[in-house]
Amino acid sequence: MTPAEADLQWVRPPQQTRSQETLERLLDAAEALIAEKGFEDTPVAEVARRAGSSVGAFYSRFKDKDALFHALYDRWLEQATATTDTTLDSERWRSASIPELLTAVVAFLVTVYRERGGLIRAFVVRNHVDPDFQARQQRLSLHISDRLTALLLERQSEIRHPHPERAARFGMILLMGALESVMLFGDFRSRDQNLDDETLAAELTLAYLAYLGVN
């Protein structure tokens, strides 16, 4: 494992004020409950109780439960953008080859989907029916694709696909689609294809490398 791989982690921008700390506790409680039960089955009273707060304090910050969901999405987008910028910083990977880069990044994505899958699943479901959520998710996806594509094209000599940029971007679409299908919705067609996370990450990395034409 290279030094660049060793410390990949989800980024949570620092919060300072006491009021912000209370808000963060409510959001953390909501995220945990949504992961356990889904958004529709998560009552406001239970969110407040788990946060060590009150229903009154909840409604002093949120108009309703849907406003809470929007706040969770705002926080998710902020953290996901910060994580992308930190993880895919060019300097971090200065001496890494494409196989080293993708091995680490894909494994990290599998970890994120495993740890935060309940929340991501709720967002994916909302994206299908809410144009605002969908548009904002598309902007995040494009940002991730831009950053990863830039890293891969810095190593274009390793890529044998005739259209390196197209391959880098489409490979990202294939990767994220597989993660969503397999990890969020368990969409394997047969039991003999159930893979542990380490094996799944390895196979997805091999698939991406093969599509790029990287040895």
Residue type, 180: E
Q: Quick check: is 168 in a domain?
A: yes
- One domain, residues 54 and 88: no
pLDDT at 185: 80
- DSSP for 99-122, please give it: HHHHHHHHHHHHHHHHHHHHHHHH
Q: Quick check: is 28 in a domain?
A: yes
Give dist(CA 13, CA 142) in Å, integer. Answer: 21
CB atoms within 10 A of CB 56: 8
- One domain, residues 30 and 106: no
- One domain, residues 132 and 172: yes
- One domain, residues 139 and 78: yes
Low-confidence ranges of the chain (pLDDT < 50): 3, 189
pLDDT at 13: 55
pLDDT at 6: 54
Q: Quick check: is 3 in a domain?
A: no
- One domain, residues 176 and 145: yes
Domain count across the chain = 2
pLDDT at 182: 87
Is there a contact between 50 and 29 (Cβ–Cβ < 8 Å)?
yes
- One domain, residues 104 and 44: no
- One domain, residues 97 and 154: yes
What are the residues whose beta carbons fall under 8 Å from the beta carbon of 21, sequence distance 6 or more? Answer: 15
Range of the domain at 117: 72-212
User: Which of 162, 201, 158, 196 lies closest to 178, judged by CA?
Assistant: 201
Q: Quick check: is 4 in a domain?
A: no
- One domain, residues 194 and 154: yes
Domain of 44, CATH number, reads: 1.10.10.60
- One domain, residues 45 and 128: no
- DSSP for 30-76, please give it: HHHHHHHH-STT--HHHHHHHTT--HHHHHHH-SSHHHHHHHHHHHH
Give dist(CA 115, CA 141) in Å, integer. Answer: 19
pLDDT at 87: 96
What are the residues whose beta carbons fall under 8 Å from the beta carbon of 150, sequence distance 6 or more? Answer: 88, 90
Q: Quick check: is 27 in a domain?
A: yes
- One domain, residues 53 and 108: no
- DSSP for 165-213, please give it: HHHHHHHHHHHHHHHIIIIIT---SSGGG---HHHHHHHHHHHHHHHHT
pLDDT at 187: 58
- One domain, residues 174 and 195: yes
Location of structure tokens 């967002």: 123
Domain of 150, CATH number, reads: 1.10.357.10
